[in-house]
Structure 1
Amino acid sequence: MRLAAENQLAVAHFAIRSERASDIAAREALLDASFGTNRGLRTCQRLRDGRAPAEGLAFTAVRDDGPVGTVRLWHVKAGGRPALVLGPLAVDPSCRGLGIGAALMHHALSAAAERGHGAVILLGDAPWYGRFGFTAEKTTNLSLPGPFERARLLGLELSDGALDGACGMILPTGAPLTRRTAKPRRHPARAA
Protein backbone atom coordinates (compact mmCIF):
# COMPACT_ATOMS: atom_id res chain seq x y z
CA MET A 1 0.00 0.00 0.00
CA ARG A 2 2.80 2.42 0.87
CA LEU A 3 4.49 1.74 -2.48
CA ALA A 4 1.30 2.69 -4.34
CA ALA A 5 1.09 6.00 -2.43
CA GLU A 6 4.75 6.76 -3.16
CA ASN A 7 4.21 6.00 -6.85
CA GLN A 8 1.21 8.35 -6.97
CA LEU A 9 3.26 11.14 -5.38
CA ALA A 10 6.02 10.61 -7.93
CA VAL A 11 3.47 10.69 -10.77
CA ALA A 12 1.79 13.84 -9.42
CA HIS A 13 5.00 15.91 -9.17
CA PHE A 14 4.65 19.15 -11.16
CA ALA A 15 5.40 22.87 -10.83
CA ILE A 16 3.46 25.97 -11.87
CA ARG A 17 5.31 28.90 -13.36
CA SER A 18 4.62 31.93 -15.52
CA GLU A 19 4.08 31.06 -19.15
CA ARG A 20 7.14 31.45 -21.36
CA ALA A 21 7.36 32.12 -25.08
CA SER A 22 8.90 28.65 -25.43
CA ASP A 23 5.65 27.15 -24.02
CA ILE A 24 3.39 28.46 -26.78
CA ALA A 25 3.67 25.60 -29.30
CA ALA A 26 3.16 22.98 -26.56
CA ARG A 27 0.28 25.06 -25.17
CA GLU A 28 -1.47 25.15 -28.55
CA ALA A 29 -1.08 21.37 -28.94
CA LEU A 30 -2.41 20.84 -25.40
CA LEU A 31 -5.46 23.03 -26.12
CA ASP A 32 -6.13 21.18 -29.38
CA ALA A 33 -5.94 17.85 -27.53
CA SER A 34 -8.28 19.11 -24.80
CA PHE A 35 -10.83 21.10 -26.82
CA GLY A 36 -10.37 20.07 -30.44
CA THR A 37 -8.96 21.97 -33.38
CA ASN A 38 -12.22 23.93 -33.79
CA ARG A 39 -11.79 25.53 -30.35
CA GLY A 40 -11.24 28.91 -32.01
CA LEU A 41 -14.94 28.96 -32.92
CA ARG A 42 -16.12 29.00 -29.30
CA THR A 43 -17.90 32.08 -27.98
CA CYS A 44 -15.31 32.91 -25.31
CA GLN A 45 -12.64 32.98 -27.99
CA ARG A 46 -14.21 36.29 -29.15
CA LEU A 47 -12.96 37.78 -25.86
CA ARG A 48 -9.39 36.61 -26.59
CA ASP A 49 -9.04 37.18 -30.33
CA GLY A 50 -6.38 39.77 -31.08
CA ARG A 51 -5.65 40.33 -27.37
CA ALA A 52 -2.78 39.49 -25.09
CA PRO A 53 -3.48 37.76 -21.78
CA ALA A 54 -3.52 40.00 -18.70
CA GLU A 55 0.04 40.78 -17.71
CA GLY A 56 1.44 38.27 -15.25
CA LEU A 57 -1.66 36.07 -15.44
CA ALA A 58 -0.69 33.29 -17.86
CA PHE A 59 0.59 30.11 -16.22
CA THR A 60 1.99 26.75 -17.24
CA ALA A 61 2.10 23.54 -15.21
CA VAL A 62 5.26 21.59 -16.04
CA ARG A 63 6.69 18.19 -15.33
CA ASP A 64 10.11 16.89 -16.24
CA ASP A 65 9.00 16.21 -19.79
CA GLY A 66 7.46 19.67 -20.37
CA PRO A 67 4.15 21.54 -20.16
CA VAL A 68 1.17 19.52 -18.91
CA GLY A 69 -1.30 22.29 -18.05
CA THR A 70 -2.18 25.86 -18.92
CA VAL A 71 -4.42 28.69 -17.81
CA ARG A 72 -4.67 32.35 -18.80
CA LEU A 73 -6.75 35.31 -17.65
CA TRP A 74 -7.86 38.18 -19.91
CA HIS A 75 -9.06 41.74 -19.28
CA VAL A 76 -12.73 42.43 -20.00
CA LYS A 77 -15.53 44.79 -19.09
CA ALA A 78 -18.45 42.85 -17.64
CA GLY A 79 -21.45 45.07 -18.20
CA GLY A 80 -19.18 48.08 -17.70
CA ARG A 81 -17.34 46.61 -14.69
CA PRO A 82 -13.63 45.71 -14.97
CA ALA A 83 -13.07 41.98 -14.63
CA LEU A 84 -10.99 39.10 -15.90
CA VAL A 85 -12.12 36.14 -17.98
CA LEU A 86 -10.42 32.86 -17.13
CA GLY A 87 -9.68 30.38 -19.84
CA PRO A 88 -9.00 28.18 -21.33
CA LEU A 89 -7.85 25.92 -18.53
CA ALA A 90 -6.46 22.66 -19.86
CA VAL A 91 -4.54 19.68 -18.51
CA ASP A 92 -2.82 17.04 -20.62
CA PRO A 93 -5.22 14.07 -20.86
CA SER A 94 -2.53 11.73 -19.49
CA CYS A 95 -2.22 13.88 -16.35
CA ARG A 96 -5.87 14.43 -15.45
CA GLY A 97 -6.89 13.45 -11.94
CA LEU A 98 -3.55 14.47 -10.43
CA GLY A 99 -4.73 17.85 -9.09
CA ILE A 100 -3.00 19.93 -11.77
CA GLY A 101 -6.19 21.73 -12.88
CA ALA A 102 -7.13 22.63 -9.30
CA ALA A 103 -3.59 23.81 -8.59
CA LEU A 104 -3.64 26.00 -11.70
CA MET A 105 -6.99 27.48 -10.61
CA HIS A 106 -5.76 28.28 -7.10
CA HIS A 107 -2.55 29.77 -8.47
CA ALA A 108 -4.32 31.92 -11.08
CA LEU A 109 -6.96 33.21 -8.66
CA SER A 110 -4.36 34.00 -6.01
CA ALA A 111 -2.21 35.87 -8.53
CA ALA A 112 -5.24 37.84 -9.80
CA ALA A 113 -6.16 38.84 -6.23
CA GLU A 114 -2.56 39.83 -5.46
CA ARG A 115 -2.59 42.10 -8.52
CA GLY A 116 -5.74 43.82 -7.24
CA HIS A 117 -8.30 42.45 -9.68
CA GLY A 118 -11.86 42.43 -8.37
CA ALA A 119 -13.63 39.67 -10.29
CA VAL A 120 -13.13 36.66 -12.52
CA ILE A 121 -15.71 35.32 -14.98
CA LEU A 122 -15.67 32.09 -16.95
CA LEU A 123 -17.81 29.79 -19.01
CA GLY A 124 -17.62 26.31 -17.51
CA ASP A 125 -19.09 23.46 -15.51
CA ALA A 126 -20.68 24.81 -12.32
CA PRO A 127 -20.00 21.66 -10.23
CA TRP A 128 -16.25 21.74 -10.97
CA TYR A 129 -15.73 25.53 -10.75
CA GLY A 130 -18.11 25.88 -7.80
CA ARG A 131 -15.50 24.41 -5.47
CA PHE A 132 -13.38 27.52 -6.13
CA GLY A 133 -16.28 29.84 -5.30
CA PHE A 134 -17.69 30.45 -8.79
CA THR A 135 -21.48 30.84 -9.06
CA ALA A 136 -24.03 32.16 -11.55
CA GLU A 137 -25.41 34.54 -8.92
CA LYS A 138 -23.63 37.70 -10.18
CA THR A 139 -23.67 36.84 -13.90
CA THR A 140 -27.42 36.52 -14.52
CA ASN A 141 -27.57 39.95 -16.20
CA LEU A 142 -24.42 39.50 -18.28
CA SER A 143 -24.12 38.25 -21.86
CA LEU A 144 -21.37 36.96 -24.12
CA PRO A 145 -20.76 37.92 -27.78
CA GLY A 146 -22.21 34.69 -29.16
CA PRO A 147 -24.23 31.66 -28.11
CA PHE A 148 -23.68 30.26 -24.62
CA GLU A 149 -25.47 28.24 -21.97
CA ARG A 150 -26.67 30.63 -19.26
CA ALA A 151 -26.02 28.16 -16.41
CA ARG A 152 -22.34 27.91 -17.46
CA LEU A 153 -21.62 31.66 -17.17
CA LEU A 154 -20.03 31.88 -13.73
CA GLY A 155 -18.39 34.60 -11.69
CA LEU A 156 -16.22 34.98 -8.62
CA GLU A 157 -15.72 38.24 -6.75
CA LEU A 158 -12.18 38.63 -5.46
CA SER A 159 -13.32 41.92 -3.88
CA ASP A 160 -16.76 42.19 -2.31
CA GLY A 161 -19.22 43.93 -4.61
CA ALA A 162 -16.94 43.87 -7.69
CA LEU A 163 -19.80 42.55 -9.84
CA ASP A 164 -22.68 44.32 -8.07
CA GLY A 165 -25.04 45.71 -10.70
CA ALA A 166 -23.07 44.23 -13.61
CA CYS A 167 -25.46 44.18 -16.54
CA GLY A 168 -24.88 43.87 -20.28
CA MET A 169 -22.31 42.46 -22.65
CA ILE A 170 -18.91 41.15 -21.60
CA LEU A 171 -16.41 42.85 -23.91
CA PRO A 172 -12.65 42.47 -24.34
CA THR A 173 -10.46 45.31 -23.10
CA GLY A 174 -7.02 43.73 -22.96
CA ALA A 175 -3.94 44.94 -24.75
CA PRO A 176 -3.77 44.12 -28.46
CA LEU A 177 -1.43 41.32 -29.46
CA THR A 178 1.99 42.40 -30.53
CA ARG A 179 4.48 40.43 -32.58
CA ARG A 180 6.10 39.38 -29.28
CA THR A 181 2.84 38.05 -27.79
CA ALA A 182 1.24 36.57 -30.90
CA LYS A 183 0.70 32.82 -31.01
CA PRO A 184 2.45 30.85 -33.73
CA ARG A 185 0.59 30.58 -37.00
CA ARG A 186 -0.49 27.22 -38.26
CA HIS A 187 0.39 26.55 -41.84
CA PRO A 188 -1.74 24.13 -43.81
CA ALA A 189 0.13 21.12 -45.16
CA ARG A 190 1.43 21.71 -48.64
CA ALA A 191 0.70 19.24 -51.40
CA ALA A 192 3.77 17.31 -52.49
Structure 2
Amino acid sequence: EDDSFVEALQALAFGPGRFARTAFRVRERFPIDKTLSLIAEIDGNPVASVWMTPISVGGIDGYLLGPLATDPAYRGRGAGKLLVKEVTRLALARQGVSFVMLVGDEPYYGPLGFAPTTHGAIQFPGPVDPKRVLLHSADQTLALRLAGPIAAFGARKRA
Protein backbone atom coordinates (compact mmCIF):
# COMPACT_ATOMS: atom_id res chain seq x y z
CA GLU A 1 0.00 0.00 0.00
CA ASP A 2 2.80 2.42 0.90
CA ASP A 3 4.66 1.70 -2.36
CA SER A 4 1.59 2.46 -4.47
CA PHE A 5 0.97 5.69 -2.52
CA VAL A 6 4.58 6.80 -3.02
CA GLU A 7 4.55 5.99 -6.75
CA ALA A 8 1.27 7.88 -7.25
CA LEU A 9 2.50 10.84 -5.20
CA GLN A 10 5.78 11.07 -7.13
CA ALA A 11 3.87 10.93 -10.42
CA LEU A 12 1.58 13.72 -9.20
CA ALA A 13 4.43 15.87 -7.85
CA PHE A 14 7.02 15.39 -10.61
CA GLY A 15 5.28 13.90 -13.66
CA PRO A 16 6.97 11.59 -16.17
CA GLY A 17 10.06 13.82 -16.28
CA ARG A 18 11.16 12.34 -12.95
CA PHE A 19 12.59 9.31 -14.76
CA ALA A 20 15.02 11.51 -16.70
CA ARG A 21 16.50 13.20 -13.63
CA THR A 22 20.06 12.33 -12.70
CA ALA A 23 19.09 11.58 -9.09
CA PHE A 24 16.69 8.95 -10.46
CA ARG A 25 19.67 7.32 -12.22
CA VAL A 26 21.47 7.08 -8.87
CA ARG A 27 18.45 5.33 -7.38
CA GLU A 28 18.39 2.93 -10.34
CA ARG A 29 22.00 1.93 -9.63
CA PHE A 30 21.72 1.66 -5.86
CA PRO A 31 18.59 0.44 -4.07
CA ILE A 32 16.71 2.72 -1.72
CA ASP A 33 16.86 1.96 2.00
CA LYS A 34 13.27 1.07 2.87
CA THR A 35 14.03 1.51 6.59
CA LEU A 36 14.74 5.20 5.93
CA SER A 37 11.94 5.81 3.46
CA LEU A 38 9.22 7.61 5.37
CA ILE A 39 5.65 8.78 4.87
CA ALA A 40 4.06 11.76 6.65
CA GLU A 41 0.39 11.75 7.57
CA ILE A 42 -2.02 14.54 8.45
CA ASP A 43 -5.19 13.43 10.23
CA GLY A 44 -4.38 9.82 9.32
CA ASN A 45 -4.02 10.57 5.60
CA PRO A 46 -0.66 10.05 3.87
CA VAL A 47 0.42 13.39 2.40
CA ALA A 48 4.19 13.28 1.82
CA SER A 49 7.02 10.82 1.32
CA VAL A 50 10.79 10.73 1.18
CA TRP A 51 13.26 8.10 -0.02
CA MET A 52 16.87 7.60 1.05
CA THR A 53 19.52 5.86 -1.05
CA PRO A 54 22.78 4.69 0.57
CA ILE A 55 25.80 5.94 -1.39
CA SER A 56 29.51 6.65 -1.03
CA VAL A 57 31.52 9.61 -2.35
CA GLY A 58 35.31 9.60 -2.17
CA GLY A 59 35.20 6.62 0.18
CA ILE A 60 32.89 8.39 2.63
CA ASP A 61 29.48 6.81 3.23
CA GLY A 62 26.22 8.69 3.35
CA TYR A 63 22.74 8.92 1.88
CA LEU A 64 21.14 10.63 -1.09
CA LEU A 65 17.83 12.14 0.04
CA GLY A 66 15.01 12.21 -2.45
CA PRO A 67 12.69 12.42 -3.96
CA LEU A 68 10.78 14.37 -1.37
CA ALA A 69 7.20 14.61 -2.57
CA THR A 70 4.20 16.32 -0.98
CA ASP A 71 0.61 16.12 -2.16
CA PRO A 72 -0.05 19.56 -3.71
CA ALA A 73 -3.20 19.92 -1.58
CA TYR A 74 -1.01 19.76 1.55
CA ARG A 75 2.00 21.85 0.52
CA GLY A 76 3.03 24.61 2.89
CA ARG A 77 1.89 22.76 6.02
CA GLY A 78 5.36 21.54 7.05
CA ALA A 79 5.03 17.82 6.27
CA GLY A 80 7.95 17.84 3.82
CA LYS A 81 10.27 19.74 6.15
CA LEU A 82 9.33 17.43 9.01
CA LEU A 83 10.22 14.40 6.88
CA VAL A 84 13.57 15.93 5.87
CA LYS A 85 14.50 16.72 9.48
CA GLU A 86 13.52 13.27 10.75
CA VAL A 87 15.06 11.18 7.97
CA THR A 88 18.29 13.21 8.15
CA ARG A 89 18.48 12.74 11.91
CA LEU A 90 17.87 8.99 11.59
CA ALA A 91 20.44 8.57 8.81
CA LEU A 92 23.21 10.53 10.54
CA ALA A 93 22.64 8.51 13.73
CA ARG A 94 23.66 5.33 11.91
CA GLN A 95 27.18 4.06 12.41
CA GLY A 96 29.52 4.96 9.56
CA VAL A 97 27.17 7.50 7.96
CA SER A 98 28.86 10.89 7.52
CA PHE A 99 26.44 12.89 5.38
CA VAL A 100 23.05 13.30 3.76
CA MET A 101 23.19 14.82 0.28
CA LEU A 102 20.44 16.02 -2.03
CA VAL A 103 19.82 17.92 -5.22
CA GLY A 104 17.44 20.73 -4.35
CA ASP A 105 16.76 24.38 -3.68
CA GLU A 106 19.01 26.01 -1.08
CA PRO A 107 16.33 28.45 0.14
CA TYR A 108 14.16 25.44 1.14
CA TYR A 109 16.84 23.06 2.45
CA GLY A 110 19.37 25.58 3.84
CA PRO A 111 17.32 26.35 6.97
CA LEU A 112 17.17 22.57 7.56
CA GLY A 113 20.96 22.41 7.84
CA PHE A 114 21.97 21.70 4.24
CA ALA A 115 24.92 23.60 2.75
CA PRO A 116 26.22 23.96 -0.81
CA THR A 117 29.05 21.66 -1.87
CA THR A 118 32.11 22.59 -3.91
CA HIS A 119 30.78 23.07 -7.46
CA GLY A 120 31.42 20.04 -9.63
CA ALA A 121 33.40 18.09 -7.03
CA ILE A 122 30.77 15.35 -6.66
CA GLN A 123 30.33 13.42 -9.89
CA PHE A 124 26.78 12.27 -10.66
CA PRO A 125 25.89 9.77 -13.41
CA GLY A 126 24.47 12.60 -15.51
CA PRO A 127 24.05 16.38 -15.55
CA VAL A 128 23.26 18.19 -12.29
CA ASP A 129 23.22 21.90 -11.54
CA PRO A 130 26.18 22.07 -9.10
CA LYS A 131 24.54 24.97 -7.22
CA ARG A 132 21.73 22.57 -6.22
CA VAL A 133 23.97 19.86 -4.70
CA LEU A 134 23.55 20.33 -0.94
CA LEU A 135 24.98 18.45 2.03
CA HIS A 136 24.11 17.99 5.71
CA SER A 137 26.86 16.67 7.98
CA ALA A 138 28.02 17.00 11.57
CA ASP A 139 31.41 17.86 10.02
CA GLN A 140 30.86 21.41 8.78
CA THR A 141 33.87 21.20 6.42
CA LEU A 142 32.71 18.06 4.61
CA ALA A 143 30.53 20.00 2.14
CA LEU A 144 33.69 21.66 0.81
CA ARG A 145 35.90 18.56 0.91
CA LEU A 146 33.65 15.80 -0.42
CA ALA A 147 34.69 14.86 -3.96
CA GLY A 148 34.52 12.01 -6.42
CA PRO A 149 31.97 9.87 -8.21
CA ILE A 150 28.88 8.53 -6.48
CA ALA A 151 29.53 4.87 -5.69
CA ALA A 152 27.98 2.05 -3.71
CA PHE A 153 27.64 2.45 0.05
CA GLY A 154 30.68 0.87 1.68
CA ALA A 155 33.04 1.67 -1.20
CA ARG A 156 36.29 2.75 0.42
CA LYS A 157 39.13 4.83 -0.95
CA ARG A 158 41.97 2.81 -2.36
CA ALA A 159 45.28 3.45 -0.66
The amino acid of 2:112's aligned partner reads F
Question: What is the Cα deviation at residue 119 of structure 1?
Answer: 0.3
- The residue type paired with residue 40 of structure 2 is A
Could you give the per-residue CA deviations for residues 113-164 of structure 1, whole angstroms, max 9, x where no partner exists?
2223210111000111101111114565212110111100111113566567
Describe the SS at the equivalent of 2:64: strand
- Separation in 1, partners of 2:53, 2:106: 20
Q: 1:151 aligns with which of 121, 131, 142?
A: 131
Q: Which has the higher helix share?
A: 2
Count of residue pairs the alignment pairs up: 153
- When the two chains are superposed, the root-mean-square deviation of aligned CA atoms in Å is 2.1
How many angstroms apart in 2 are the aligned matches of 1:120 and 1:158?
A: 10
Is the alpha carbon distance of 1:135 and 1:160 closer, same or farther for their aligned partners in structure 2, counting shifts above 3 Å?
A: closer
CA distance in 2, matches of 1:119, 1:95: 29
Query: What percent of counterpart residues are identical?
Result: 33
Could you tell me which runs of 5 or more consecutive residues in structure 1 were left unpaired when the two chains were aligned: 1-21, 175-192
Mapping for residues 1-192 of structure 1, pairs under 5 Å: 22-49=1-28, 51-54=30-33, 56-64=35-43, 66-116=45-95, 117-137=97-117, 140-159=120-139, 165-173=145-153
Query: Over alpha carbons, which structure has the higher Rg?
Result: 1
| Deviation, structure 1 residue 28 | 0.5
CA contact (8 A) 1:120 1:158 kept: no
Amino acid paired to 1:126: E
Any conservation in 2 of the 1:27–1:67 contact (CA below 8 Å)? no
User: Could you tell me which amino acid in structure 2 is paired with residue 108 of structure 1?
Assistant: V
Alpha-carbon distance in structure 2 between the residues aligned to 1:164 and 1:128: 20
The verdict on how the C-alpha distance between 1:166 and 1:50 changes in structure 2, with shifts beyond 3 A counting, is closer
Structure 2: runs of 5+ lacking an equivalent = 155-159
CA deviations 1:36-64 (Å, max 9, x no partner) are 12311110111111543225211001234
Distance 1:118 1:138 in 2: 17
